[in-house]
């Protein structure tokens, strides 16, 4: 008897197309609560993130792995994880996800999180690859560059940072918006912009790559490598202006790079999942996942995952957890995607709209093979 699609989806190994490292140290309650949300502020009036969709899912699905009853209270959950410690919670939850390949964005709060090699060590038999964040590279060299040398200095810094990487990440959506001018700026424009940026860093006492001309320059520098480039799309923290994070705003850049050799990876996409699906259907080098939008929405995530397969070819949809810091986010992100995708494909097969063999093939594509093609990874 053939296994159901729901059963296969629960056990299939996964390639996590976009994630971050787990925090090394044990966390106090306020720190845990902030990391478990995209907000920059704690829940008001003494409320807790454990009563948000992601927290409800943690108390349901992660509890048993921490020796707690399903639907335990927020205090019971946090006190138990604190007692076990971050390292032990990681040991219990992350291998249980079934993720065998981690594609790790190492550019966000990277000083206190596990490096890609350490993520690989946390899950025996897994492998991990690095994604280089373009803006972080620029910020790291700001103290040692000038307007006149910025182009050469960035090229050198990017080459060094990406020596072992399989792709890049742009947070253009945070630093400007996806409605950016798609044209590559001239050298003269870059030099002028670099002078303005370095001056602004000095005046505000903070280094932040947010000059629109330089953001375009570093993006086009990455295009020259002909690798995958990830773009944050849609839902994020308070830095973003949501309507400017619609991926159709960058349509002209997508058109200009059709023959460039890059893959464009649209991450998360909520509430623009359908727009991302359209772009993946029309343009040969565009892919999407529902990443963070799935784990933050918990019990409602199936509707979002379903939108990812409304229009996009099955060869263009990937899995990611977008987990950062908390082992629970790896587990919840994986759980909701497995459940949603298994139920979607199972329903299609039972309605005779899709053959069983095709459903198994597509599940394998979305779980692993699409990522291998987009990032040019060798089979495990």
* Alpha helices per DSSP H over 309-355: 327-350
| Per-residue model confidence (pLDDT) at position 238 | 85
* Token pair belonging to 231: 């773009």
With a CB cutoff of 8 Å and minimum separation 6, the contacts of 139 are 207, 208, 209
Q: Say what the pLDDT of residue 292 is.
A: 80
Per-residue pLDDT at 380: 65
Tell me, what's the pLDDT at 110? 64
Selection from 359, 272, 274, 374 nearest residue 319 by Cα: 374
Q: How much is the pLDDT for 97? A: 97
- Contacts of 367-373 with CB under 8 Å at 24 or more apart are 367/12, 367/13, 367/14, 367/15, 367/319, 368/12, 368/13, 368/14, 368/15, 368/100, 368/101, 370/287, 370/315, 370/316, 370/317, 370/318, 371/15, 371/17, 371/101, 371/103, 371/318, 371/319, 372/15, 373/315
Q: Which of 264, 296, 298 is nearest to 279 (CA)?
A: 264
Task: Place domain 5-22+98-375 in its CATH homologous superfamily.
Answer: Metal-dependent hydrolases (3.20.20.140)
Cα(66)–Cα(81) distance, integer angstroms: 7
- From 184, 144, 142, 136, select the one nearest 161 (Cα to Cα): 136
d(CA 366, CA 361): 9
Whole-number pLDDT of residue 42: 85
The C-alpha atoms of residue 61 and residue 319 are separated, in whole angstroms, by 19
Give the helix/strand (H/E) hosting 16: strand 14-19
Count the neighbouring beta carbons within 10 Å of the beta carbon of residue 101.
21
pLDDT attached to residue 378: 80
The strand pairing partners of 104, in sequence order, are: 19, 130
The b/e string for 254-292 (b: 16+ C-beta within 10 A; e otherwise) is beebeeeebbbbbbbbbebbebbbbbbeebebbbbbbbb
User: Can you tell me the distance from the alpha carbon of 157 to that of 141, in angstroms, rounded to the nearest whole number?
Assistant: 7
- The one-digit pLDDT tens for each residue of the chain (380 residues) are 788 999 999 999 999 999 999 999 999 999 999 999 888 888 898 899 999 999 999 999 999 999 999 999 999 999 999 999 999 999 999 999 999 999 999 876 667 899 999 999 889 999 999 999 999 999 999 999 999 999 999 999 999 999 999 999 999 999 999 999 999 999 999 999 999 999 999 999 999 999 999 999 999 999 999 999 999 999 888 889 999 999 999 999 999 999 999 999 999 999 999 999 999 999 999 999 998 888 888 889 999 999 999 999 999 999 999 999 999 999 999 999 999 999 999 999 999 999 999 999 999 999 999 999 999 998 76
d(CA 228, CA 262): 5
β-partners of residue 22 are 325
pTM value is 0.95
- The ranges of the chain annotated as CATH 3.20.20.140 are 5-22+98-375
DSSP-derived 3-state class of residue 342: helix
């Amino acid at each position: 008897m053939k296994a159901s699609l729901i059963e296969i989806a629960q056990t299939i190994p996964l390639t996590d197309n976009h994630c971050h490292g787990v925090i090394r140290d044990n966390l106090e309650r306020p720190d845990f609560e902030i990391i478990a949300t995209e907000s920059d502020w704690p829940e008001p009036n003494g409320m807790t993130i454990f009563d948000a969709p992601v927290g409800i899912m943690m108390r349901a699905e992660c509890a048993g792995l921490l020796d707690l009853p399903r639907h335990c209270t927020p205090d019971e959950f946090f006190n138990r994880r604190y007692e076990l410690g971050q390292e032990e919670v990681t040991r219990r939850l992350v291998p249980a996800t079934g993720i065998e390949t981690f594609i790790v964005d190492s550019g966000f709060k990277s000083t206190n999180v596990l490096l890609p090699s350490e993520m690989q060590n946390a899950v025996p038999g897994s492998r991990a690859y690095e994604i280089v964040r373009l803006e972080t590279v620029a910020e790291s060299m700001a103290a040692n560059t000038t307007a006149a040398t910025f182009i050469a200095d960035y090229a050198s810094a990017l080459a060094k940072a990406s020596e072992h990487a399989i792709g890049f990440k742009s947070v253009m959506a945070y630093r400007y918006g996806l409605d950016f001018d798609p044209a590559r700026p001239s050298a003269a424009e870059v030099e002028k912009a670099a002078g303005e940026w370095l001056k602004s860093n000095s005046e505000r006492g903070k280094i932040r790559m947010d000059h629109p001309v330089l953001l375009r320059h570093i993006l086009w520098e990455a295009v020259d490598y002909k690798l995958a480039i990830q773009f944050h799309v849609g839902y994020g923290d308070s830095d973003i202006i949501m309507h400017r994070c619609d991926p159709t705003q960058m349509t002209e850049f997508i058109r200009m790079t059709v023959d460039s050799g890059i893959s464009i990876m649209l991450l998360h996409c909520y509430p623009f999942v359908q727009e991302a699906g359209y772009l993946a259907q029309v343009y040969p080098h565009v892919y999407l996942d529902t990443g963070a939008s799935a784990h933050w929405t918990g019990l409602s995530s199936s509707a979002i995952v379903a939108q990812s397969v409304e229009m996009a070819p099955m060869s263009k949809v990937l899995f990611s957890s977008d987990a950062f810091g908390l082992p629970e986010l790896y587990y919840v992100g994986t759980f909701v995607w497995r459940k949603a995708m298994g139920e979607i494909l199972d329903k299609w097969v039972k309605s005779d709209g899709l053959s069983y063999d095709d459903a198994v093939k597509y599940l394998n594509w979305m779980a692993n093979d699409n990522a291998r093609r987009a990032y040019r990874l060798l089979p495990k």
